Structure 1
Amino acid sequence: MAKRILALDDDPDILDIYSMAFGAEGYEVKTLLSPDNLAGAIVDFSPDLMLLDIKIGAFNGLEMCKVLKQSSITRDIPIVIVSGLDCINRAVEEYAADAVISKPFDLITLVNTVDRFLLAKVVPLGRVVLED
């Protein structure tokens, strides 16, 4: 089953980039232009990770992140803040974001950051040598 990414940004071009890039990587992506139905999307879609912009119309993605991280339902969902605003530097320490990516972003950095949270870790078990 594909891992699910819920992306919230008020720029439809950014959401298209997320859909194309992460779809090509095998992720299932749901995008939202506003947080009006964020709670419903979380319940219905069950994301494994969220991408949040800071400025989403009149809404503040940092405050949304803080609220989501305080909820027992959503606190374990990794949240990556993606923004061009300077206050992004406070996202991890003050708002409990799991990671930040500055806009404009590099696609490789974006995908690698998400992969870090969503790809299963492979633990080498060593090699067993059988002798006759």
Structure 2
Amino acid sequence: MSKANILVVDDYPDNLRTLSFILSERGYRVRKAIHGEMALETIQVELPDLILLDIRMPQMDGYQVCTKLKAEDRTRDIPIIFLSAMNEAADKVKAFAVGGADYM
């Protein structure tokens, strides 16, 4: 039985490589996107089982990506875990308010 298909979205290539390596080594199928627009395009091709989503990205931040995904019937049930170095309570509250399943 294959493990989950995970989409990792982060504008820092080192973060993408590290997360992808760790998850792939554990048998997960990992796809990567370097910005929000690319994530939305990738998701239309194939729905992931889980999205690991950075908050701070240029043009479209993680909150905006999550809001768009939660507004569509096809993508609203995909769990989204926000990844961020931001540690303010307001950031965490906003992540859950837009539909995030967790925040790390």
For this structure pair, what is the TM-score category when the shorter chain's length is used for normalisation? 0.7 to 0.9
Of 66, 79, 98, which residue of structure 2 is paired with 1:95?
Answer: 98
- Return 5+ residue gaps in structure 1 as ranges: 102-132
Task: Extract unaligned runs of 5+ from structure 2.
Answer: none
Identity within the alignment, %: 31
What per-residue deviation string (whole Å, max 9, x for no partner) do you get for residues 7-45 of structure 1?
Answer: 110011110111111001110001111123323211223
How far apart, CA to CA, are the structure 2 residues paired with 1:21 and 1:67? 28
Scaled by the length of structure 1, the TM-score of the pair is 0.70
Report the equivalent of 2:48. 47
Count of residue pairs brought into register by the alignment: 100
Aligned-residue RMSD, C-alpha: 1.4
Of stretches 10-19 and 35-44 in structure 1, the one that deviates more from structure 2 is 35-44
Does the CA contact (< 8 Å) of 2:53 and 2:81 recur in 1? yes
Q: TM-score, structure 2 length as denominator? A: 0.87
Larger RCO (CA within 8 A; separation ≥ 6):
2
* Structure 1 residues 44-123: aligned runs within 5 Å: 44-85=45-86, 86=88, 87-90=90-93, 91-92=95-96, 94-101=97-104
Moved over 3 A (4+): none
Aligned counterparts of 2:79 and 2:48: Cα–Cα separation in 1: 9
